[in-house]
Amino acid sequence: MRIKLIKTFTHNGKEYKELNFEFDKLTGQDMIDAEEITRRAGGNITMGAADYSRGYVLTIAAKASGLPREALMTLGAQDFTNILNQTLIFLSGADSGSLEEKTV
């Protein structure tokens, strides 16, 4: 899934006008690893609420994009929120047809 960005994003000298998220390649182990990464980053995860923690959702988005979560945290608020929202749609199990290219 590609998400077009409102503001160009630069990471390691490369400019991005959109980011690609490969949610379909994530595994159960990725989800468990995301919980641990979120905890180590100071996030608080309680049973059943992990899917709604911004830190956890950010970690899942980072895993799906191949970019570090710290890099995604430098996005503008509107792009950041859009990415978190699209990741939440994935986590909620919404029909994959709703995960088409999104532009805010």
Answer yes or no: is pLDDT of 102 > 90. Answer: no
Q: Which phi and psi angles does 15 have, rounded to 5°? A: -90, 140
Residue-wise pLDDT for 61-95, tens only, equals 999 999 999 999 999 999 999 999 999 899 888 65
pTM beyond 0.85, yes or no: no
Residue-wise pLDDT for 21-54, tens only, equals 999 999 999 999 998 888 888 876 665 555 578 8
More confident residue, 47 or 18: 18
User: Tokens in use for 18?
Assistant: 């959109």
pLDDT at site 46 = 63
Of 28, 41, 5, nearest to 91 (Cα)? 28
Average pLDDT over residues 54-58: 91
Rounded distance between C-alpha atoms, residue 98 and residue 91, angstroms: 12
